[in-house]
């Protein structure tokens, strides 16, 4: 592992929920709130949904199909919370508006939005079908913006809300063969800060608070799939799953519990920022 490529931390990193983001510390702190989590069928999205349920929220989970979310729904229900699954393509405006309307009819007004849905195609641009490349921008950047564009006016009218955009370390580094992913995550990160400043223009800062959250080094199916065979034949695949396991040390629940904590509003000093577990831990230690 080259430390110059991905950097190293000057403080010990936590790889499990700690301090204010444990389930015990957050018990009932989101009670009475309605949350939406996109890309909730597995991995990080499922963990976010479970953490919000454990903190007392009612949760709407979204993915391309309801069936894909069965395990997530069952896990959430095992904690005694209320959860409902919806099928939604987050890159389709009509689908997003219709789904959000349905959620508010079924569950109530939405207080928390977590934009987690994302896709990654490991292929250099020169070997890519452009539509396939662009679909990453559609899901990873257009999708969150459609959800925000749909929900933000409703939050404005109610005078409160929390929006968490799941970003990535990829927003800050150059990783060949992931152009669609890194650029979409970089755009989402900048959009988060800009939208927070727009809230200030309307006198809604910090009542409406937004975050771009780096979820940690979580080894998901998306990140561990490797490059397609034709790409490996041309370029090799030095950054394969084994290479990245040195970075992927975090369970999904670390991100899930962080989202549940941000949703409480206790971390509003971090609003508008790109934050990760190292920065959050440093902030918590300095403010404790």
Within a domain: 15: no
Catalytic residue at 274? no
Lowest mean pLDDT among 78-82, 121-125, 207-211, 224-228: 224-228
CA 252 to CA 193: how far, in whole Å? Answer: 24
The answer as to whether 9 is a domain residue is no
- CA dist., res. 177 & res. 241, Å (int): 14
User: Within a domain: residue 122?
Assistant: yes
For residue 118, the enclosing domain spans: 21-287
Q: Residue 5: inside a domain, yes or no?
A: no
Return the bridge partners of 85, or none. Answer: 61
The predicted-structure confidence for 59-97, as pLDDT tens digits, reads as follows: 999 999 999 999 999 999 999 999 999 999 999 999 999
Of 181, 235, 243, 279, which is the active-site residue? 181
Give a yes or no: residue 108 inside a domain.
Answer: yes
- Helices and strands: H and E segment counts in the chain: 13, 7
Alpha helix (H) residue ranges in the chain: 3-6, 23-26, 43-54, 70-77, 93-106, 130-137, 143-158, 179-201, 221-224, 229-235, 241-244, 252-264, 277-287
State what percent of residues in the chain have pLDDT above 90: 71
Q: Looking at the domain assignment, is residue 152 inside a domain?
A: yes
Instruction: With beta carbons less than 8 A apart as the criterion, state whether 193 and 272 touch.
Output: yes
**Cβ contacts of residue 107 below 8 Å, gap of 6+?**
34, 58, 60, 82, 84
- Among the residue ranges 70-84, 130-144, 245-259, the one predicted with the least confidence is 245-259
Q: Is a pLDDT exceeding 50 seen at residue 119?
A: yes
CATH code of residue 281: 3.40.50.720
**In what order do the strands lie in the sheet containing 58-63?**
83-87, 58-63, 34-38, 112-115, 161-166, 208-213, 274-275
Query: Higher pLDDT residue, 228 or 48?
Result: 48
Report the number of distinct structural domains present in the chain. 1
Q: Is residue 278 in a domain?
A: yes
In a domain, 8, yes or no: no
């Amino acid at each position: 592992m080259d430390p110059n490529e991905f950097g190293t931390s000057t403080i010990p990193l936590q790889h499990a929920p700690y301090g204010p983001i444990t389930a015990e510390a957050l018990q009932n702190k989101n009670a009475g709130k309605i949350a939406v989590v996109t890309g909730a069928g597995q991995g990080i999205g499922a963990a976010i949904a479970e953490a919000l349920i454990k903190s007392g929220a009612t949760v709407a989970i979204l993915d391309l199909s309801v069936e894909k979310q069965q395990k997530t729904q069952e896990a959430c229900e095992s904690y005694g919370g209320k959860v409902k699954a919806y099928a939604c393509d987050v890159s389709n405006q009509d689908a997003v508006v219709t789904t959000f309307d349905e959620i508010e009819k079924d569950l109530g007004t939405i207080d928390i939005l977590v934009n987690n849905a994302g896709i990654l195609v490991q292929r250099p641009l020169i070997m890519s079908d452009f539509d396939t490349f662009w679909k990453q921008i559609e899901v990873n950047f257009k999708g969150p913006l459609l959800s925000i564009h749909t929900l933000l006016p409703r939050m404005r009218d109610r005078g409160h809300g929390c929006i968490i955009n799941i970003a990535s370390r990829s927003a800050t580094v150059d990783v060949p063969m992931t152009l669609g992913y890194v650029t979409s995550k970089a755009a989402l990160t900048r959009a988060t800060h800009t939208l927070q400043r727009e809230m200030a223009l309307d006198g809604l800062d910090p009542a409406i608070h937004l975050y771009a959250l780096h979820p940690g080094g979580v080894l998901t199916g998306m990140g561990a799939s490797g490059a397609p065979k034709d790409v490996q034949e041309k370029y090799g695949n030095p950054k394969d799953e084994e290479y990245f396991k040195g970075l992927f040390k975090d369970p999904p629940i670390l991100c899930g519990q962080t989202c549940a904590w941000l949703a409480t509003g206790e971390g509003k000093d971090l609003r508008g920022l790109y934050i990760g577990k190292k920065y959050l831990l440093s902030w918590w230690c300095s403010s404790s």
